């Protein structure tokens, strides 16, 4: 069974600084997706960024980027120029291809942004 591990229950960052959230996963599959989701106090899961395992290039979305190390099964999220609105729970998730398989989530990292 696939598992996703987030070893940092809580992180904090100063506004405008950079923070990296860690995620490792375990799978025997070679074709899959990895995701980072943000869950603010409103509780709605919002997709931050997606990485396809067959792509070597790391995904980026504005201030958010990932460091995908397939051999090491590591998938970290870097948030640059942190903003107060980035404060939330962040979940790393795995999804085996094809795309109608369920998401497997980690336990989450609570990110605080200090003004």
Partner 1 sequence: ETGVTQSPTHLIKTRGQQVTLRCSSQSGHNTVSWYQQALGQGPQFIFQYYREEENGRGNFPPRFSGLQFPNYSSELNVNALELDDSALYLCASSFLVAGAGELFFGEGSRLTVL
Residues contributing to the site for partner 1 (CB under 8 A): 4, 33, 42-47, 50, 91, 93, 95, 97-108
Shortest spacing between CB 23 and partner 1, in angstroms: 11
Shortest spacing between CB 59 and partner 1, in angstroms: 13
Contacts of 90 (CB under 8 A, 6+ apart): 21, 36, 37, 38, 39, 48, 77, 108, 109, 110, 111
CB-wise, 11 or 45, nearer to partner 1? 45
CB-wise, 46 or 84, nearer to partner 1? 46
User: CA-CA distances (angstroms) from residue 101 to 28, 33, 37?
Assistant: 15, 10, 17
| Residue matched to tokens 């980035």 | 86
CB-wise, 47 or 84, nearer to partner 1? 47
| Residue matched to tokens 């970290």 | 76
Shortest spacing between CB 107 and partner 1, in angstroms: 5
CA angle 105, 9, 31 (to 5 degrees): 30
Shortest spacing between CB 90 and partner 1, in angstroms: 10
């Amino acid at each position: 069974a696939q598992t996703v591990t987030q070893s940092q229950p809580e992180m904090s960052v100063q506004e405008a600084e950079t923070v990296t959230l860690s995620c490792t996963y375990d799978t025997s599959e070679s074709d899959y997706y990895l995701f980072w989701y943000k869950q603010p106090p409103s509780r709605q899961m919002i997709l931050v960024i997606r990485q396809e395992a067959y792509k070597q290039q790391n995904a980026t979305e504005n201030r958010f980027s990932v460091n995908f190390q397939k051999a090491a099964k590591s998938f970290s999220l870097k948030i640059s120029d942190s903003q107060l609105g980035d404060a939330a729970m962040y979940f790393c998730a795995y999804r085996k291809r094809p795309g109608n398989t369920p998401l497997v989530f980690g336990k989450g990292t609570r990110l605080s942004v200090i003004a």
